[in-house]
Chains A and B, each alone.
Chain A
């Protein structure tokens, strides 16, 4: 029994067409997780019976897409470019076309491994991975940032000042005064990097939870949906924020140190990372997650998603307030 017979039969037809010798798909199922994107796993059945696992990533409901998302087609293109540049990425086999009748999305190879942040920072089998993961993330970021912007599809440009102003407007729109956020905005304004940078491809959601990890370390970087052009150090700051540490040791994703991340990044040609710029982006990342949580109240009350899950994410806003205080005014 299929969970989604129409989607499965559309994908079955695509697979028979793009992989000659295929006899369709099997074990078609939706994987959990991913509110902004659907992930489906299935197997391609070859003549003779061999089976190859594959992944379909699709816009929710086939076509819904957040305003800030780059779109499934561009996401697939970025994944390919990053893979060519040396970042570990799944192989993009096919981008869905309207005529396929399966919505917007793309089919990739299946990368075996763990994506749950809590397991990556805790389980003994990832102990070796945790020793090298921060450096591997640094090298993957350097590869992504080195991509010639001329080869990129059209992307939104997000400067430090632009991000800060947009974030402040979103905070004001929540209508709820939060003195700790006000303090953070003042600190960000005071630390706004003086030197504008040449905009590079920024993944913008490169963190524990969006990577696939094996026992030897990093296997894939996923979730390109909010990628943009901007300051590369944004990626290094984002992977450090406390909300993505899952209770683990070490500021980078709960598995590594800032030094491991930055040293590997610089050694791989990523350019010098000034500590002040890194702190700016880490703080902006914390505030960004905090404002995103607080903004969930609107959708919860307005009926877009009145679920208890959304309500609980809204109440995670306060975790970023303790993170802001830890960064700006740590208790000794």
Chain B
């Protein structure tokens, strides 16, 4: 068992340092790059927090949909193959729901401020 604070707490602290202390002392392109770096730390923090549950849920859905077992990469490859072979379409029960759920879980990590994501989770 590792000691605390947790990785996500430490990432948040560094992002705050960059935004509140470092950025005000910079200008132009360097300030832009530091803002990107702070955003990258936020993304990693969200991934640390959300990925385990999102991956487990995605894998469970894929197993049901494909009625087979495998790791996430294998199952996603199998789903892609089925879609590109025309064996699974938007009419396939459960496919749309799975793709929406997975996509929303990805956006929650990658870019929760993206307007179409905000619309999708807000409604």
A residues bordering B, Cβ < 8 Å?
Answer: 32, 177-183, 185-186, 242, 245, 247, 307-309, 311-312, 315-316, 318-319, 321-323, 325-326, 328-329, 331
Q: How far is the CB of B114 from chain A (nearest CB, A)?
A: 5
* A322 CB contact (under 8 Å) in B73, B107, B123: B107
New A-B contacts (6) at CB < 8 Å, excluding given A182-B84, A325-B103, A326-B116: A177-B80, A182-B83, A308-B40, A315-B43, A318-B103, A322-B117
Number of A-B contacts (CB under 8 A): 89
* A316 CB contact (under 8 Å) in B29, B32, B83, B111: B111
Q: Are A321 and B103 in contact (CB under 8 A)?
A: yes
Q: Are A318 and B110 in contact (CB under 8 A)?
A: yes
B residues bordering A, Cβ < 8 Å?
Answer: 28-29, 32-33, 36-37, 39-40, 43, 73, 76-77, 79-80, 83-84, 86, 89-90, 96, 99-100, 102-104, 106-107, 110-111, 114-117, 120, 123
* B115 CB contact (under 8 Å) in A178, A247, A312: A247
29 contacts between A and B (CB under 8 A): A32-B28, A177-B76, A177-B80, A179-B102, A180-B99, A180-B102, A182-B79, A182-B80, A182-B84, A186-B83, A186-B86, A242-B115, A307-B33, A308-B33, A308-B36, A309-B33, A315-B110, A318-B107, A318-B110, A318-B111, A319-B107, A319-B116, A321-B107, A322-B104, A322-B117, A325-B103, A329-B96, A331-B100, A331-B123
Q: How far is the CA of A7 from the CA of B28 in the complex (A)?
A: 21
Name the residue of chain B whose CB is nearest to the CB of A321.
B103
Q: Are B32 and A186 in contact (CB under 8 A)?
A: no
Interface of A is mostly: helix
Name the residue of chain A whose CB is nearest to the CB of B103.
A321
Q: Are B114 and A322 in contact (CB under 8 A)?
A: yes
Q: Are B116 and A321 in contact (CB under 8 A)?
A: no
Q: Are A331 and B120 in contact (CB under 8 A)?
A: yes
Q: How far is the CA of A244 from the CA of B114 in the complex (A)?
A: 11
Contacts of A245 in B (CB 8 A): 115
